[in-house]
Copies of this chain bind each other. A is one copy, B any other.
Amino acid sequence: MALMHEIPKGVKVLLPEVAAKKRWVEEQLLGVFTRWGFQEVVTPTFEFFDAIAPGLGSEWRDKTFTMIDRESGNLLVLRPDITPQIARFASTLLKDRPRPLRLCYASSVFRYVEPQAGRAREFFQAGVELLGLDSPEADAEMIAMAVEGLMAVGLDDFHLSVSDIDFFSGVLEELGVSAAVEVEIRQAVQRRDRSALEESSRREKLEARQTGLLLELPGLVGSGREVLDKVLPLVGTPRCRAALETLSRILKFVDAYGVSDHITVDLCEIRGFDYYTGMVFEGFTPHLGYEICGGGRYDRLLEKFGAPAPATGFAIDVERVLLALERQGDLALPSGADVLLIEFRSRKGEAVRVARNLRGCGLRVARDIIRRDLEGSVAYARTFQIPWAVILGGNGVSEGLAKVVEVARGVESSVEISRLAEFLQERMGRSSS
């Protein structure tokens, strides 16, 4: 019973104000996704652990919520990521549909992480998967859609950091170091720690050309293809060259989409899921210290489910977008009623007709069923930020007329009931313009 008033760490109730903003952001994002021809799917909240394990990188295996299926004794897992679920059913249920498949979703996912600002144990993602295309144009489509999505929700300052996992793997190949040293170098690169890289180079007795490449990495950041031009002379392996060539073609298509202003090339941006195999990106805004979206190419994931196919995709973190919007300035969304309808008559027919008429015009109308005086009702409207109170009957309001109170200013008008919808729409249009 001690737990009766508590909720588990890392999850929360979204109260009306936040829930309205969450729905609005999801609607904007799904609007962009569907206009680009993507179709929404809904995945199960839990699955057999074994069924999506092939898509869970080592980093996530220990960070899932699991339970035992009491019938079969199998381990169930709350979805920690939507991509492996989609990869699985694209390889099974949708195996015979022609490629490409363009799918999208807006779902909660669950991860057993230490909660902190912007990181919850249940959180909300809106994302897309483009399955069956290995072209750089497909990757450019992901980048362009992520930019359009973030613009559609009204973020005014953000950039996507684009990189390529395969380029970095190629660099490690060129260095020819042990797996342990690879991990060390990977971490140093993510930290952009030049002195740690120098130290590794000395200890591993790397050649001058190798050292040059390694120490160049933290500086491989820029607004476009000049970064690629800078690094190309330094790399030797076909793998690195091919990755840079692909990235260059992706950036050309991104240019064609006209979204280059939002792009940074940053070859140290090598975080993300274990399943990424090529281009990767993460989105940032100056308002937040962590990424608001991420995505990339994953050409080896679907084959784990029996139907090999190239694929690319991304996901936007809905709550982080809300946080960024909040810090950028307010995202004001009226989530409650527009009108509180108060009546002092015992015949309910007219109030019902008025409510139906106003709702038919798209107004949100709550009826004040409780018995209290007019002042109490208007105070209630004020607390819930309901902008208009409409009073029928009582207090000297004549037959055929309604008293309309603009709650914030306390201004009263007497309006013919037949003109009520028109009156309110006119005033609301005027006040919002």
Contacts and interface: CB of A to CB of B under 8 A. Distances in A.
B122 A44 contact: yes
A22 B69 CA distance: 27
A30 to B, nearest CB: 8
A45 B108 contact: yes
A35 B363 contact: yes
B39 A137 contact: no
Contacts of A151: none
Interface string A44-67: 111110110010000000000111
A174 interface: no
Interface in A331-369: 335-337, 339-340, 348-349, 352, 359, 362-367, 369
A329 interface: no
Interface residues of A, number: 99
A88 interface: yes
A158 to B, nearest CB: 19
Contacts of A1: 50
A45 B384 CA distance: 27
Interface string A1-30: 111111111011111101110110000000
Contacts of A132: 370
A37 B108 contact: no
A383 B339 CA distance: 48
Given A19-B40, A335-B39, A51 B5 contact: yes
A369 B137 contact: yes
Given A39-B20, A66-B67, A94-B15, A8 B48 contact: yes
A70 B114 CA distance: 13
A135 B71 CA distance: 45
Contact of A45 (B18, B78, B379): B78
Interface string A246-264: 0000000100111000000
A13 B366 contact: no
Given A67-B65, A141-B369, A19 B45 contact: no
Contacts of A16: 39-41, 103
Given A44-B8, A258-B352, A51 B3 contact: yes
Contacts of A5: 51, 88, 92, 305-306
Nearest to A17: B39
B46 A102 contact: no
Interface of A: 1-9, 11-16, 18-20, 22-23, 34-48, 50-51, 54, 65-71, 74, 76, 78, 85, 88-89, 92-94, 97-100, 102-103, 108, 110, 112, 122, 132-133, 135, 137-138, 141, 253, 256-258, 305-306, 335-337, 339-340, 348-349, 352, 359, 362-367, 369-371, 379-380, 383-384, 386
Given A39-B335, A46-B122, A98-B384, 20 more contacts: A4-B305, A5-B92, A7-B44, A8-B44, A8-B69, A12-B44, A13-B43, A19-B41, A19-B42, A36-B359, A37-B339, A98-B380, A98-B383, A99-B370, A100-B370, A132-B370, A137-B369, A141-B369, A256-B348, A256-B349
5 A-B pairs closest in CB distance: A37-B366, A37-B337, A67-B67, A16-B39, A14-B42
22 contacts: A4-B51, A4-B88, A8-B46, A8-B74, A11-B44, A13-B89, A15-B94, A16-B39, A16-B40, A19-B42, A22-B42, A35-B364, A36-B364, A36-B365, A37-B386, A40-B335, A45-B45, A45-B78, A66-B67, A97-B384, A137-B367, A137-B369
